[in-house]
Structure 1
């Protein structure tokens, strides 16, 4: 018999719910949200948590997940912070619990000392998150992220703690589901996102396509264009069409950035039309080449950690 698997979501005003929404597509035994009173997310949703923060002490097992967004109000609330400082370290010592944080959710783990000396990823140390662009965030984050070992990876697993960058929400969800004992990470979310778009039972008409983004000589992407590109990626993520996205490592020092995006689309022509709307492409700082992706990352696991 399959073991129970439980999802526990920590909510707060300013959280970005879309970063953890893919987790809801998996067949959890139970789903519980935690927070003190109604919260207003950065996505414009008003959510009423099932349990108060104090109830984190009653977690039975499973995945405890913290979304990104702007957690400053929570971090500046002495009562809430005292609860998190007590309960999160307790959960981190348990073999039947995996703690996960995406984007700025990692700030909460860092604030209670759980990232000290640990490998992790978070937005604050990303190349585009410079002190000049985000002075308040950088000063705020550096006050307690210093002891963490930052890794420039989309998802980082260190023991029972998982951290992720904001554009890796689907991969993050798969990793957390697998850690919590899901038998087929990816299968449930694929059914949820694409179940209404099938030509026939068991047949998925949507293929995967790779968008290769190459930097044009002498051009660099300004911050506004990078932010617009991330927002563009999230439009695909919101409908389950984004499989993978990220930069490619430079082959030599000083090489301009390039990257790839893997999406689901009905045809090559459709994928090419979608690629043409990427702000990187429309602004002229990147050139896009689109090709069909041959492997299934859900069925063969080639894109899973």
Structure 2
């Protein structure tokens, strides 16, 4: 108790401590200037719009504004969950997200490990360029290419099927093909770019551990399994946690461009539904409620995934 009292007595006054902080800020002001633009960006585009969450609990009337619009409580949420299509939309969102996560998450790791083992510089750079390039294709162009390739009349795939005596298939109109087309199109576009982070992590793997494993006679596969992958495990865990936390956030643009009346039963997701209800039908309160529900699910999944990762691997976001 005496030690605690003595420590409190010798603790500098708050003015002295704040003076030291401001002194350090004056010395390192260029670093704070560099930090200022992202802080302003986050404040404007992430925190200021949170005021609009009130729309989820109001019957929005433009003339009265957000504050003046009548309060309706949870009626928008009740309306959504009582709708016959709500659970189908949620199921479509979850299934597409899980498919993308299971099929797409390991591939950038495998590509990065494979590229890390390549010793011919020209070959490594060529593979990197070829695999990174699709990431910079816009969603509109990408979907256009896929539609042309899968077209029932002139598409390359159907031409190949017909060459072997098969019947042409309307891939974009068959519900059983939609999820696979979307997921593998995204994997083709994003795998090369996603491998960049893992390549950077692999560059930091201890050379001493590599040399020790070689001296011990470990094969290349064993070195990857026992040295490379454990070394980049924190990076893998953090990206996996972030992926799980965004499992309800399926991309809007690509799905919307691929939608048609034939595949709508499996392609309608929360993002496209919010767009149609909120912007096209001008039901802003209802669409905000759905978006808020989606964000809350993502937040809960992020917390659970991070807690689990901390328990199992001692790595996580916080």
* TM-score, normalising length: structure 2: 0.22
Q: Which has the higher helix share?
A: 2
Q: Which has the higher strand share?
A: 1
Q: Which has the higher contact order (CA 8 A, sep 6+)?
A: 2
